Chain A
Amino acid sequence: EPEVTQTPSHQVTQMGQEVILRCVPISNHLYFYWYRQILGQKVEFLVSFYNNEISEKSEIFDDQFSVERPDGSNFTLKIRSTKLEDSAMYFCASSQQGAAGNTIYFGEGSWLTVV
């Protein structure tokens, strides 16, 4: 069964450093997402991406964050200057269509620890 894959599974970084989290969405999917889950809190939407541009973003997704689809398969989340509060599990996800009700498929997540 096709799946969303994410790398790295766990990354430890120093505060202020740049981090890039990578994802390979399901191949025939057109919509891509990043969510995050801070330990003990809800899974939160960060951003959705379609046709090479951001279609929606949350208040969390400030100027420190950016997303990119550098080639036909990868989808990345960059955090420019990490803060302690960026420590979380980051989930990449994808779907065939973007409308509400369509199934969103999630990857296994990337644990980011900022020290």
Chain B
Amino acid sequence: AQSVTQLGSHVSVSEGALVLLRCNYSSSVPPYLFWYVQYPNQGLQLLLKYTSAATLVKGINGFEAEFKKSETSFHLTKPSAHMSDAAEYFCAAASDGSGNTGKLIFGQGTTLQVKP
């Protein structure tokens, strides 16, 4: 069964520092991959998604993610963290398997703390 693993349940960076949130997927067929962000008291908002068009995907708020098939990874990065980036980030995968379903499999989430 497909699974998504996010390394590090909690990441802390200083304002202006590089943000790197790790995500690995487990699938024999490269899935569609997503990053969602959840700000306090809000729903899940799509940051970006990979659908095989390009391995480097740019999203909202300066975030980007690179799909690496050899590493089964889809890490999320941002060159310079801002205080407003503090939130919980979820990596998710959707498999284009026999059911061709849009069902998402989520990682456990990573809480990003940004220190002034």
- A interface, CB within 8 angstroms of B: 3-4, 31, 33, 35, 41-45, 48, 55-56, 91, 93, 95, 97-109
Contact = CB atoms under 8 A, between A and B. Distances in A.
Interface of B: 31-32, 34, 36, 41-46, 49, 51, 90, 92, 94-97, 99-109
A97 B100 CA distance: 11
Contacts, number: 74
Given A42-B108, A42-B109, A102 B102 contact: yes
B28 to A, nearest CB: 15
A88 B99 CA distance: 28
A48 B108 contact: no
A99 B98 CA distance: 11
Contacts of B108: 41-42
A22 to B, nearest CB: 15
A101 B32 contact: yes
The 8 A-B residue pairs whose C-beta atoms are closest, nearest first, are A108-B43, A106-B44, A100-B94, A101-B32, A43-B106, A100-B96, A101-B51, A106-B43
A105 B101 contact: no
A42 B43 contact: no
